[in-house]
Structure 1
Amino acid sequence: MSLGVLGAGAFGTALAITLSQKGPMTLWARDPAQAHQMARDRTNAARLPGVALPDRLTVTSDLTDLDALDTVLVAVPLQKLRAFLEEARRPLTGKTLVACCKGMELRTGLGPLEIMAEVCPESPRALLTGPSFARDIAQGLPTALTLACTDEDQCIALQQALSNNTLRLYRTGDVIGAALGGALKNVIAIACGAAIGAGLGESARAALMTRGHAEMQRLAAHKGADPTTLFGLSGFGDLVLTATSAQSRNYRFGLSIGTGAAFDPAATVEGAATAQAVAAYAKAQGIDLPISSAVAALVEKRLDVEDAMTALLSRSLKEE
């Protein structure tokens, strides 16, 4: 299986670095200047500074360099995925596409595999998700992820091709549950960051994580997924990592909301748009997702943290 990675952000670069252990690897960057810098200096100075690119890793900005590949990992932000796939549809035709992004599209509420199905219906699809930070993967630190695919034989082949001695993949056929876990944990991480930033304490964070996980299961069940999938790496595991570490952009974004500090507008915060998409869907479907709805209100600046917590704590008492 010949592999390549589309997207030279931190995560795409990290995947290309670790997968190059198994053979030649191609990493595509949209910006020709970035691709030139990476090829010349053998590091991604903008996104993953201090980590060397292996000799077997080729960096390019030319999509035709993907023609010889049969499997492509697509590591572009979820909100930009549709436009990118429409632009790159011809060179991607017939290739197996592995989505490496998390979230729900703001306009449609669709996840990565659903977007791929609409834009590239002829391409086999899979999803790589779970608890991971780019720097950990790039530095060869032990990481376990979920590989979701409805075709079991294809999933087994991808699992073998994408696993190595530090990156371990577990497979599932529940593509809806795996995608929702990766999307919704970012929303809950924003809530947790906001609570900590506002000085509400660790107990508040624990409550938000626990009740947020219940929301994740509730939405998964409504969409036809197996709620137990949300107890695995792509749900509970990813939630724990993202809601407790300052390496998480979503958690840091929540911290900035809680403290009132400015946040880098160039940083990708998938949970912000996902919260808005989830809140709109929940309202239309009559699903009770109070934490996700509160995060959407925070993102849209319709509520501050104090008002959001007051609204959550004043809800009717009930059985867990």
Structure 2
Amino acid sequence: MSGHVAVLGAGSWGTAFAKILADAGRDVTVWARRQQVAEVLRAQRRNPEYLPDLVLPQRVTATGDAAEAISGAELVVLAVPSQTLRGNLAEWAGHLHPDATLVSLMKGIELGTTKRMSEVIVETAGVAADRVVVVSGPNLAPEIAAEQPAATVVACTDVDRATLVQNAVTTPYFRPYTNDDVIGCELGGAVKNVIALAYGIATAMGFGHNTRAMLVTRGLAETARLGVALGADPLTFAGLAGMGDLVASCSSPSARNRTFGEHLGRGATLEEARVATRQTAEGVKSALAIRDLARAHGVEMPITEQVELVCHEGVDPRRAVQALMSRTTKPE
């Protein structure tokens, strides 16, 4: 293999991750779905739509041809919206090197199948699970692009492969930790999007720090309940991929899911919120899949249930709050 890295997806996190890889000494080819985005990235080293202030390193180039990006790549980083992964990867799988490591940046649960992203990758690409590495944690792309200190978790069932990716993304501003709990890291990343929607809704409704602290802590509790039911290590949820990611997504005004939730909390419809934010937040679709996953395993996830009702069944956020607060009291 040539040793270069392919990043498939030119959104904010894919673009920032390409910078990390280049700063760590790798040659990177970014695939952009739209040819004009690839041309601007290649010619100007900028992605004006997502990270307008970032000038990418010389080691980064771009293409609109996924096969060209993947060819010979040692690491293939997947950074597309969660619900588009299966369709995209089915087209790309034939170009993968037999021992390429597939790195998932996606934080979602697939609708219909309720599969985690690593499960979708294994199934669609026909690769062994120990070839899939999950990156999760408090990874707000604009801050990382600005080289503000950040940490993340690199999770894989194969510790050597996790270490390989760890070494490929270590920079003075980006500190990766390895972990073998893929299930916990993926669930932490997916469910935090749903809790951040709830946090945004509550913020827009004028609720203060007590309410927000309740959502963070009880949101983490329901994430951990589901994780344990699926075989995750409960300690994972106290770390970067659990509490760390949840706090960042809830507390940052620039976080996509929180911002989307704020629009819903001000009375916007799902479509109005999508237009206002110019994109659909991952948590909106994942709320349905996570609710179904929880029900299938007999796990109570009351915040997730109410977010799903607000997003997809038109329930007024005020009624959702009442429903949460009127649940039967129980031990913590």
- TM-score under structure 1 length normalisation: 0.96
Q: Secondary structure at 1:154's aligned position in 2?
A: helix
State the Cα deviation string for residues 2-38 of structure 1 (Å, max 9, x = none): 3221111111111111211213221111211111122
- Asked whether the equivalents of residues 73 and 97 of structure 2 are also in contact (C-alpha less than 8 Å), the reply is no
Alignment partner for residue 37 of structure 2, among 29, 34, 39?
34
Match of 2:244 in 1: 237
Aligned residues: 320
The 5 A counterparts of 1:115-126 are 115-122=120-127, 124-126=131-133
Moved over 4 A (4+): none
- Asked whether the equivalents of residues 93 and 122 of structure 1 are also in contact (C-alpha less than 8 Å), the reply is no
Q: Does 1:170 align with 2:177?
A: yes
- Asked whether the equivalents of residues 287 and 307 of structure 2 are also in contact (C-alpha less than 8 Å), the reply is yes
- Asked whether the equivalents of residues 196 and 202 of structure 1 are also in contact (C-alpha less than 8 Å), the reply is no
State the Cα deviation string for residues 168-211 of structure 1 (Å, max 9, x = none): 10111000000000000111111111111111222111111111
Q: Does 1:248 align with 2:258?
A: no
Q: Secondary structure at 1:51's aligned position in 2?
A: coil
- Asked whether the equivalents of residues 28 and 59 of structure 1 are also in contact (C-alpha less than 8 Å), the reply is yes
Alignment partner for residue 329 of structure 2, among 302, 311, 317?
317
Match of 1:209 in 2: 216
Match of 2:114 in 1: 109
Match of 1:152 in 2: 159
**Measured at CA, do residues 283 and 24 of structure 1 come closer, stay the same or move farther in structure 2, by a change above 3 Å?**
closer
- Asked whether the equivalents of residues 132 and 145 of structure 1 are also in contact (C-alpha less than 8 Å), the reply is yes
**Unaligned stretches of 5+ residues in structure 1:** none
Query: Matches of 2:167 and 2:41 in 1, distance apart?
Result: 28
Counterpart residue identity of residue 267, structure 1: Q
- TM-score under structure 2 length normalisation: 0.93
Q: Please state how far the C-alpha of 1:52 moved relative to its aligned partner.
A: 0.9
Counterpart residue identity of residue 273, structure 2: F
Match of 2:80 in 1: 76
Q: Secondary structure at 1:50's aligned position in 2?
A: coil
Match of 2:273 in 1: 263
- Asked whether the equivalents of residues 41 and 62 of structure 2 are also in contact (C-alpha less than 8 Å), the reply is yes
Match of 1:191 in 2: 198
Query: Matches of 1:48 and 1:256 in 2, distance apart?
Result: 22
Q: Please state how far the C-alpha of 1:93 moved relative to its aligned partner.
A: 4.5
Query: Matches of 2:88 and 2:189 in 1, distance apart?
Result: 20
Counterpart residue identity of residue 108, structure 1: T
- Asked whether the equivalents of residues 77 and 268 of structure 1 are also in contact (C-alpha less than 8 Å), the reply is no
Query: Matches of 2:232 and 2:303 in 1, distance apart?
Result: 20
Query: Matches of 2:10 and 2:310 in 1, distance apart?
Result: 30
Q: Please state how far the C-alpha of 1:126 moved relative to its aligned partner.
A: 0.6
Q: Identity of paired residues, percent?
A: 40
Counterpart residue identity of residue 160, structure 2: D
